[in-house]
A and B are shown apart, each in its own frame.
Chain A
Amino acid sequence: MVHWTAEEKQFIISLWGKVNVAECGGEALARLLIVYPWTQRFFSSFGNLSSATAIIGNPKVRAHGKKVLTSFGEAVKNLDNIKATYAKLSELHCNKLHVDPENFRLLGDILIIVLAAHFGREFTPACQAAWQKLVGVVAHALAHQYH
């Protein structure tokens, strides 16, 4: 079980309360596909991903980004039990989706940058540290059931 200080929980929960999940999720997924284009390999059914503009405007990207970040919210609600929270999703990503767990780390770093751009100075170094820890724990949990 991961140990969170009261301060870390504060940073995570209070920032999450201000996140527009649909907007941030769409943006995070779009950036993942733009900054690390090889991640597009998982989304051949999403239609036009031919340019940054196409990706940003792609409704399937937005919808899926929202879905992914909504799921991320489960971690925030269950900070003391993240591994169990993602057990089923971990199996899914391994057995059905065949996603290299490195992609979870990439998306985590992208999310950090999206939060930084949205929250500016409020995203202090200490706040960033709490969130880096969270994205790391989520990535680890999603990779946990891999075999």
Chain B
Amino acid sequence: MAPTTLNVDEKQLILHAWEKVLGHQEDFGAEALERMFIVFPPTKTYFPHFDLHHDSEQIRHHGKKVVNALGEAVQHLDSLSATLSQLSDLHAYNLRVDPVNFKLLSHCFQVVLAVHLGDEYTPQVHVAFDKFLAAVSAVLAEKYR
């Protein structure tokens, strides 16, 4: 699906919700990755070099990296392509993660948000993040071919 633009309200909702993520980037990132590895085992094939035990240093470090990158994207919702250009190159030419996995991690990240935000993860916030994560995923895959 081609990326759709976020409207003004959705951008506000994302920025506002992201305040709850600040300070917890490592925790949320690690939890999202862990959920993904447990719920969708084939995703582990991209991390044969990792210690995938619960709370491993590598998972925490990588989780923090991923969520910080999302944080960058949140600060530049109007220029995702430019903001994520290097990551886009990395995924296309180096990592070559099949794009189907972006959906799986996006889903798990949303589960983490739901777990920690509870009622505040309203349907409106939910759709805004679903669109945002889909847009980020599309940018990461845009140089694949």
Contact = CB atoms under 8 A, between A and B. Distances in A.
A105 B38 CA distance: 19
A116 B114 contact: yes
A129 B39 CA distance: 5
Contacts of B119: 117
B123 A30 contact: yes
Given A112-B111, A113-B114, A52 B127 contact: yes
A128 B112 CA distance: 11
A121 B130 contact: no
A126 B130 CA distance: 23
Interface in A28-45: 30-31, 34-35
A17 interface: no
B110 interface: yes
A117 B127 contact: no
Nearest to B128: A35
Interface in A43-101: 52, 55-56
Given A35-B130, A125-B34, A125-B35, A117 B123 contact: no
A11 interface: no
Interface of A, helix, strand, loop or mixed by DSSP: helix
A112 B126 CA distance: 12
A30 B122 CA distance: 11
Interface residues of A, number: 24
A31 B126 contact: yes
Contact of A126 (B38, B110, B114, B115): B38
B39 A34 contact: no
Contact of A125 (B38, B117, B121): B38
A104 interface: no
18 contacts: A27-B123, A30-B123, A34-B124, A35-B127, A35-B130, A52-B124, A112-B111, A113-B110, A113-B111, A117-B119, A119-B115, A121-B115, A123-B111, A123-B115, A125-B31, A125-B38, A125-B39, A129-B38
